[in-house]
Amino acid sequence: KSFVQASDIQKMHKRFDNFSHKGDFGRILLIGGRGGKVGAIILSTCSAMRTGSGLVHVWAEGASKDVIHISCCEAMVEGEKILDELDKFDALGIGPGLGEVPQDLLRNIFQSTGKPMVLDADALNVLSKHPELWDLIPKGSILTPHLKEFERLTGKSSHHFERLDKASEYAVQHKVYLVLKGAFTSISTPDGKQYFNSTGNKHMATAGSGDVLTGMITSFLGQGYDPLNASLCGVFHHGLAGEIASKTKARGMIATDIIESIPSSFLEMQID
């Protein structure tokens, strides 16, 4: 078990040279934001752009397309047929505002790409109801449940130590990274290690905060970070951006403020 600190994080970042083009910064696809929950995928999308992705595509439906264009004109909005072209993406992030979907959607995505992906929110809820999908999750994928989502996945725990043990077991057994969000977010790895994040504060307990994290981790994954570094850098900068934003927003901080402070967290950590 180890406590991740600023000096560790700096080394985990990829460096890009001056001749990098937008393909080098990765092309990702975010899936979610259906029905009345398009706001969640907007937060993930803006967050991924601000974390440095070269190209962010979003799968959305009907009128939601316009909502996304207005909220993040840098993103590309796709129709359903994009599910047949998953290979062209460096990373996928699935779940924010996805709503209830048939398990076949996840099953098909898992089977049509072997690449690690980020699974959050409603995607985790599908997994909770369908344990038969667990071993189909591409190896090295990153699951980002908050406490309640984790409970749905693995049942109630009587205390946090038990919960951490369950997280580690789940990660080892299914060969995934399990990011358990909370006051000290833990990252459990397929080889049984456990990391604890040192950034963030209570003002980040606000609607959409988790959607922002999903965008950040997916972005790093798409930029070519391995899943461990993507997870650690994601939770670290998410927390640091939240700390920076709450200096001026205090209790009034909202998820959008976290996104707006991502660049400042890069500057503070001297990530060029």
Length of the chain: 272
Question: How far is residue 214's CA from residue 265's CA, in Å, rounded to a whole number?
Answer: 17
Instruction: Give strand pairing partners of 119.
Output: 94, 143
Which of 43, 121, 142, 233 binds its own copies (CB under 8 A)? It is: 43
Give the helix/strand (H/E) hosting 210. Answer: helix 209-222
Phi, psi of 93 (to 5 degrees): -130, 125
220 forms part of the interface with its own copies (CB under 8 A) = no
Q: Does 84 interact with its own copies (rule: CB under 8 A)?
A: no
* 179 is a site residue for its own copies (CB under 8 A): no
| Nearest one of 233, 216, 256 to 118, comparing CA atoms | 216
For 267, phi and psi rounded to 5 degrees? -65, -45
Nearer to its own copies, 25 or 170 (CB): 25
Q: Shortest distance, CB of residue 49 to its own copies, whole angstroms?
A: 5
152 binds its own copies (CB under 8 A): no
- 157: tokens are 């725990």
Stretch that binds its own copies, among 2-10, 37-45, 84-92, 119-127 (CB under 8 A): 37-45
Residue 219, class by beta-carbon neighbours within 10 Å (0-12 exposed, 13-18 middle, 19+ buried)? buried
Name which position in 105, 136, 147, 172 contacts its own copies (CB under 8 A): 147
> Which residue type is seen at 12?
M
Assigned token pair, 2: 């180890």
9 binds its own copies (CB under 8 A): no
* DSSP β-ladder status, 55-59 and 27-31: parallel
138 binds its own copies (CB under 8 A): no
CB of 32 to its own copies, least distance (A): 13
Pick the closer one to its own copies by CB: 176 or 253: 253
Per CB under 8 A, which of residues 88..117 are in contact with its own copies?
Answer: none
Please, are residues 194 and 188 in contact by the beta-carbon 8 Å criterion?
A: yes
Contact call for residue 6 and its own copies (CB under 8 A) = no
Among 11, 63, 87, 88, binds its own copies (CB under 8 A): 63
Q: If binding is defined by CB under 8 A, does position 169 make contact with its own copies?
A: no
Helix (H, G, I), strand (E, B) or coil at 81: helix
Say whether residue 24 binds its own copies (CB under 8 A): yes
Binding site for its own copies (CB under 8 A): 16-22, 24-25, 36-40, 42-43, 49-56, 63-67, 69-79, 146-147, 182-183, 201-202, 205-209, 248-256, 262-264, 266-267, 271-272
